[in-house]
């Protein structure tokens, strides 16, 4: 009754009900949920754009742009005014520490948005939480993602992919614990050399490394003579067939790394005390099962059998036969290598094709080679001087004896003349 009477009096005085009815105002302490997501990512041809709502948590507590960064390198957002409701990032695909992964059908660029609140002024309290939002952009590999016209100066997408597939091979001499590279290349005969072959894949799909064959020579020339074959027949460590314990280390530390040991030796009929080891390395996709052409087999004397580092045991049976793989494909390192141009053209004919390289490690120096020369019958300068001294002393002794005998004989053969007294 009282409310109706008040409305009637207000109507008479003001001439309408619009000014008499209370106006409802939105409650800013309880805002409605945002209609759009708080983080929006746009994947462009060469960059990604991230738009972040200042009402990031949907609680009405606006985040500060200074508390937002992008990627491991903490890239800052674009400059914005306080009246704007969003914060924007525009960065290149390879900027801010973005990581890239190559799958069979896509290029995946990954990063994250970080909200790291800091106290304001002299306050030591925070009213928002730390948050990390993963961000990902995927691009198909089997087509050009550009929507622009291809200009003569534009680098095609396929060419870019080929440049990313270049691999970095290495062959290093390691310490006995495999923890670091060997500081000195010197050995005593009978020592064991620890060799580690590795390929750095970068953004390439996972790969498995193989040592196809290795040969030891006195010079960096792998075709020099004499030579000794260490690995042959596409991964058979044939040096272990002799009195050596040379073998591949199993299991591998990782698919792109292969370790093996070689009992050190020297060429008996050559005075040089250095050797070089040249190995032919190659890779295959990590998911491919090892076969006769791609294997790492060691000979175990206790069982008189070959065993692979991985894969079925049957792939090592060809190591006894002396022929592995297809006819004409079991080429040795000492034979002339086919031109690199053919290999490069074949690598561009299909993706993930095996890539190969020759690497030489050395010189490996033997400290005990001088002692071995004496064992082989070679005369050292010290021995020569002692022999000359003994011969001189012996000659002088003989000469003294001969001279003494000669004087005694001469004295005995002369007539004795005695003086005769004259009578007076």
Q: Is residue 171 part of a domain?
A: yes
How many whole angstroms from its chain centre is CA 131? 35
Pairing of strands 297-300, 207-217: unpaired
Burial of 274 (0-12, 13-18, 19+ CB in 10 A): middle
Domain boundary among 357, 372, 387: 372
Bridge partner list, 198:
170, 257
Burial of 47 (0-12, 13-18, 19+ CB in 10 A): middle
Same domain? For 361 and 214 the reply is: yes
| Residue 10, domain member (yes or no) | no
Classified as helix, coil or strand, 293 is coil
- pLDDT (0 to 100) of residue 80: 77
Residue range of the domain that includes 178? 165-372
Cα separation of 54 and 81, whole Å?
A: 12
Q: Are residues 178 and 122 in the same domain?
A: no
Whether 364 and 283 map to the same domain: the answer is: yes
Q: In this structure, is residue 135 part of a structural domain?
A: yes
Domain-located, residue 67:
yes
Q: Under a CB-based contact definition with an 8 Å cutoff, are residues 37 and 50 in contact? A: no
* 45: CATH: 2.60.40.3210
Say how far apart CA 357 and CA 282 lie, in whole Å.
7
Residue 395 within any structural domain of the chain? no
Question: What whole-number distance in Å separates Cα of residue 388 and Cα of residue 399?
Answer: 16
- DSSP readout, 128-171? S--EEEEEEEEEESSS----S---TTSPPHHHHHHHHT--EEEE
Closest to 109 (Cα-Cα) out of 182, 48, 18, 39? 48
Whether 97 is covered by a domain: the verdict is: yes
pLDDT of residue 374: 41
Quickly tell me which residue has 């590279």 as its tokens.
Answer: 181
* 364: number of Cβ within 10 Å: 21
**Residue for token pair 């040096």:** 239
Total domains, the chain: 2
Q: Examine the fold and report which residue of 372, 392, 411 is the final residue of a domain before the chain moves on.
A: 372
- Paired tokens of 38: 């708080």
Together in a domain, 128 and 173: no
Strands 186-187 vs 356-366: parallel, antiparallel or unpaired? parallel
Same domain, 87 and 190: no
Task: State the CATH number of the domain containing residue 261.
Answer: 2.60.40.4100
User: 248 and 329, same structural domain?
Assistant: yes
**Domain identity same for 243 and 134:** no
Which residues are CB-neighbours of 387 under 8 A, at least 6 positions away?
none
The verdict on whether omega for the bond into residue 137 sits within 30 degrees of 0, i.e. cis, is no
What backbone phi and psi angles, to 5 degrees, belong to 371? -65, -35
Element (H, E) at 389: helix 381-413
Cβ neighbours around 352 below 10 Å, total: 15
- Residue 223 is classified by DSSP as T
Q: What are phi and psi of 48, to 5 degrees?
A: -120, 140
In a domain, 12, yes or no: no
- Which residue in 196, 242, 215, 233 sits closest to 315, CA to CA? 233
Same domain, 224 and 265: yes
Report which DSSP code applies to 321: H
Distances from the Cα of 134 to the Cα of 98, 100, 140, 272, angstroms: 11, 14, 20, 61
The secondary structure element, H or E, covering residue 70 is: strand 68-70
pLDDT, one tens digit for every residue, the chain (424 residues): 454 545 454 544 445 554 455 444 444 444 444 567 889 999 998 899 999 999 888 888 888 898 999 999 999 998 877 778 899 999 999 899 999 988 888 889 999 999 988 877 666 677 777 889 999 999 887 665 555 555 545 545 444 444 445 688 999 999 999 999 999 999 988 899 999 999 987 767 889 999 999 999 999 999 999 999 999 999 999 999 988 899 999 999 999 999 999 998 888 888 888 999 999 999 999 999 999 999 999 999 999 999 999 999 999 999 988 888 754 444 444 333 443 333 333 333 334 445 889 999 989 988 865 444 443 444 444 554 656 666 676 777 777 787 777 676 655 555 555 455 554 4
Q: Quick one: 77 and 111 in the same domain?
A: yes
Q: Are residues 362 and 246 in the same domain?
A: yes
**pLDDT computed for residue 244 by the predictor:** 86
Query: Do 187 and 260 fall into the same domain?
Result: yes
Regarding whether 272 and 210 lie in a shared domain, the answer is yes
Q: Considering the domain boundaries, does residue 152 fall inside one?
A: no
3-state secondary structure of 53: strand
**φ and ψ at residue 353, rounded to 5 degrees:** -70, 155
Answer yes or no: are the C-beta atoms of 152 and 172 closer than 8 Å.
no
């Amino acid at each position: 009754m009282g409310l109706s009477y008040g409305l009637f009096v207000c109507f008479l005085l003001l001439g309408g009900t619009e000014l008499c009815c209370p106006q409802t105002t939105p409650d800013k302490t309880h805002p409605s949920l945002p209609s759009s997501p708080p983080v929006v990512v746009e994947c462009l041809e060469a960059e990604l754009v991230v738009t972040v709502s200042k009402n990031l948590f949907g609680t009405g507590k606006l985040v500060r742009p200074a508390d937002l960064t992008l990627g491991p390198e903490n890239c800052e957002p674009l400059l914005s005014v306080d009246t704007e409701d969003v914060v924007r990032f525009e960065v290149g695909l390879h900027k801010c520490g973005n990581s890239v992964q190559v799958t069979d059908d896509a290029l995946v660029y990954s990063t994250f948005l970080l909200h790291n609140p800091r106290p304001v002024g002299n306050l030591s309290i925070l009213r928002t939480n730390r948050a990390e939002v993963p961000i990902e952009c995927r691009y198909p590999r089997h087509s050009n993602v550009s929507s622009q016209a291809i200009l003569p100066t534009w680098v095609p997408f396929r060419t870019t992919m080929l440049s990313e597939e270049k691999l970095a091979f290495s062959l290093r001499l390691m310490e006995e614990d495999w923890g670091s590279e060997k500081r000195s290349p010197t050995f005593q005969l009978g020592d064991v050399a620890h060799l580690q072959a590795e390929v750095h894949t970068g953004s390439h799909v996972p790969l498995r490394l193989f040592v196809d064959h290795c040969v030891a020579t006195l010079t960096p020339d792998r075709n020099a003579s004499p030579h000794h074959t260490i690995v042959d027949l596409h991964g058979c460590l044939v040096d272990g067939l002799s009195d050596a314990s040379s073998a591949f280390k199993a299991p591998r530390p990782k698919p792109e790394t292969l370790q093996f040991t070689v009992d050190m030796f020297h060429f008996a009929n050559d005075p040089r005390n250095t050797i070089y080891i040249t190995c032919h390395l190659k890779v295959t996709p990590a998911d491919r099962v090892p076969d006769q052409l791609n294997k790492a087999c060691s000979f175990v004397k206790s069982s008189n059998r070959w065993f692979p580092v991985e894969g079925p045991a049957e792939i090592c049976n060809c190591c006894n036969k002396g022929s592995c793989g297809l006819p004409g494909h079991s080429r040795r390192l000492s034979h002339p290598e086919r031109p690199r141009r053919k290999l490069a053209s074949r690598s561009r004919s299909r993706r993930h094709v095996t890539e190969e390289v020759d690497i030489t490690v050395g010189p490996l120096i033997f400290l005990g080679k001088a002692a071995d020369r004496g064992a082989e019958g070679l005369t050292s300068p010290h021995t020569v001087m002692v022999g000359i001294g003994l011969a001189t002393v012996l000659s002088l002794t003989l000469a003294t004896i001969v001279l003494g005998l000669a004087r005694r004989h001469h004295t005995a053969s002369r007539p004795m003349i005695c003086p005769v007294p004259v009578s007076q």
